Structure 1
Amino acid sequence: MIPAPRLLLRRSGILLPLVRPYPLTSVICRRPFSSAPSDGVRQSRRGPVTWIGLTLTAVASFSAVGYYKIEQEKKAEKKMREVTTTGKPAVGGPWTLVDRSGRLVNETSYAGKYTLLYFGFAHCPDICPSELVKVAQVMDRLEAECGREAADRVVPLFVSVDPARDSIQKLKEYGRDFHPRIEFLTGTPEQVRKMTKLYRVYISKADETEDGDYLVDHSIVIYFNNSDGSFQDFFSQSMRASDIVAKMKAVMRL
């Protein structure tokens, strides 16, 4: 048997086996539909290729999802801009819902108050809670910069787009985790459908799972209404709380 080549470390005097790396081409330049190798050495070389492929696939998938979300937001924002820049804004109108106490409310219930209106649902895993936290930041920032009286002039409203599951009791429990100024509203499917149509909110219910659970895809927009109830502006998901407060202050003349 021919002895394996050895590499001499000058200072230590230790002899180590000299290992030659496999050529890169032998690892990546392989026919995709070739038959399985017969020996263990050749089989083990395919490991790096498999992991590299999986990594690239995962990166591509995440990039595609991110791109889709960005494009959806751009389309929604463009649609809203078209609505608000062509004559009188065709957003808003008369509606009727109920709050967490079971009290009937409508567009006149908040007369004299500015409203921040967000459509979502209590079973939303991430986006709705994130947007409600942003609404809380807006309210806290407005109060810090302009005082409590200024913040009292604004009522944040959360409107459920999932009335089948978001009962009054469910919203009572859900609302405990968020800013005390936010009011949570729900209603019958017809009442909710009418209001979402008035505000041009996109809603799409996903297929139910075996246990009856499902998600609701919807527009991610915060609407800002004047003290007379008329639509004033909207804020997309990408807007920061500080930018929203700046726009609100300009309208409220603070």
Structure 2
Amino acid sequence: MKKYQAFFFFAAVMLALGGLFWFGQANKDRPLDTEQLKALGFVQLPSPRVLEGIELLTQSGELFDGSQLKGKWTYAFFGYTNCPDICPVYMSILERTVDRFQDSLTTEEFALFQGMFVSVDPARDGVEEVREFVARYSDSFLGITGSETKIKDFAEQVGVGYERIPSRSELQYLVEHQGHLVVFNPQGYCMGYIKEPFDTVKLTKLYQHLVKHG
């Protein structure tokens, strides 16, 4: 009798564990709701913004026209290489997020990600400066610069504001800019923003949602 009791107890435990595993997997693949996305700092636009007339330069000096965004989920940060605080901190978070991606994503999911830095100080940030700055964080990140007019147009299209703070020096000055990340979908459209403060856990959880349900 005890033998049968032990068997049924073992079967019940295994059935319960199987149910918990199934429940966990089902919840893991379930899309995040509005409140969960809000908790991650994600603000989705009512409709994605299509980019127009983009003529910038990558860190290798090649034309950036927005087509490089297609086929990828892109987290983009707008800043400048001479930034004393926020830019190095947030670029480091992006760097660590990529490291976390490698441990928590499939190869296919990881291949769909792209990190991008866009300079809002093109007067000082030429191709070489952007290349050196981006290389400090990841060889896979895309670095963007260009003329003041084209940078401003790109920033305005995706809703990023910035302003040079007046200074007596033409070379030593600060640029006030927004610190959120811009999210581009695989169609190359701006679909929303990730508000600060953000961290590697939030950025990873959001990306897992986007790549599966975005």
Normalised by the shorter chain, which TM-score bucket?
Answer: 0.7 to 0.9
- Per-residue CA distance 1:130-184 (angstroms, 9 max, x = gap): 1101111221111210134322211111010001110011112222311222111
Contact 1:143 1:150 in 2 (8 A): no
Contact 2:179 2:195 in 1 (8 A): yes
User: Matched residues in 2 for 1:96 and 1:140: separation?
Assistant: 31
Which sections of structure 1, spanning at least 5 residues, go unmatched?
A: 1-79
Question: In structure 2, what is the equivalent of residue 146 of structure 1?
Answer: 105
Q: Report the 3-state secondary structure (helix = DSSP H, G, I; strand = E; otherwise coil) of the residue aligned with 2:198.
A: coil
* Residues 217 and 232 (structure 1), Cα distance of their counterparts in 2 relative to 1, 3 Å cut: same
Question: In structure 2, what is the equivalent of residue 114 of structure 1?
Answer: 73
Question: In structure 1, what is the equivalent of residue 59 of structure 2?
Answer: 100
* Residues 211 and 233 (structure 1), Cα distance of their counterparts in 2 relative to 1, 3 Å cut: closer
Give 1:199 shift: 1.2
Match of 2:195 among 215, 236, 244: 236
Match of 1:176 among 126, 129, 135: 135
Question: In structure 1, what is the equivalent of residue 211 of structure 2?
Answer: 252
Structure of higher RCO (CA pairs closer than 8 Å, 6+ residues apart):
2
Q: Report the 3-state secondary structure (helix = DSSP H, G, I; strand = E; otherwise coil) of the residue aligned with 1:117.
A: strand
97-106 vs 148-157, which deviates more? 148-157
Taking structure 1 as the reference length, what is the TM-score of the superposition?
Answer: 0.62
User: Matched residues in 2 for 1:178 and 1:114: separation?
Assistant: 18
Matched, 1:185 2:144: yes
Question: In structure 1, what is the equivalent of residue 155 of structure 2?
Answer: 196
Corresponding letter in the other structure for 1:166: D
Corresponding letter in the other structure for 1:207: P
User: Matched residues in 2 for 1:169 and 1:206: separation?
Assistant: 24
User: Matched residues in 1 for 2:71 and 2:169: separation?
Assistant: 47
Match of 1:130 among 46, 68, 89: 89
Matched, 1:161 2:161: no
Corresponding letter in the other structure for 2:149: E
User: Matched residues in 1 for 2:65 and 2:121: separation?
Assistant: 18
Identity of aligned residues (%): 22
User: Matched residues in 2 for 1:231 and 1:201: separation?
Assistant: 11
Give 1:210 shift: 4.2
Pairs within 5 Å for 1:9-158: 81=43, 84=45, 87-89=46-48, 91=49, 93-94=51-52, 95-158=54-117
Give 1:211 shift: 6.8
Taking structure 2 as the reference length, what is the TM-score of the superposition?
Answer: 0.73
- Per-residue CA distance 1:197-232 (angstroms, 9 max, x = gap): 101111111122447300000011111111111223
Which sections of structure 2, spanning at least 5 residues, go unmatched?
A: 1-41
Q: Report the 3-state secondary structure (helix = DSSP H, G, I; strand = E; otherwise coil) of the residue aligned with 1:128.
A: helix
* Residues 136 and 192 (structure 1), Cα distance of their counterparts in 2 relative to 1, 3 Å cut: same
Corresponding letter in the other structure for 1:181: S
Contact 1:120 1:128 in 2 (8 A): yes
Contact 1:131 1:237 in 2 (8 A): no
Kindly name which structure, 1 or 2, has the bigger radius of gyration based on alpha carbons. 1
User: Matched residues in 1 for 2:184 and 2:169: separation?
Assistant: 40
Q: Report the 3-state secondary structure (helix = DSSP H, G, I; strand = E; otherwise coil) of the residue aligned with 2:78.
A: strand
Give 1:239 shift: 1.9
Q: CA RMSD in A?
A: 2.0
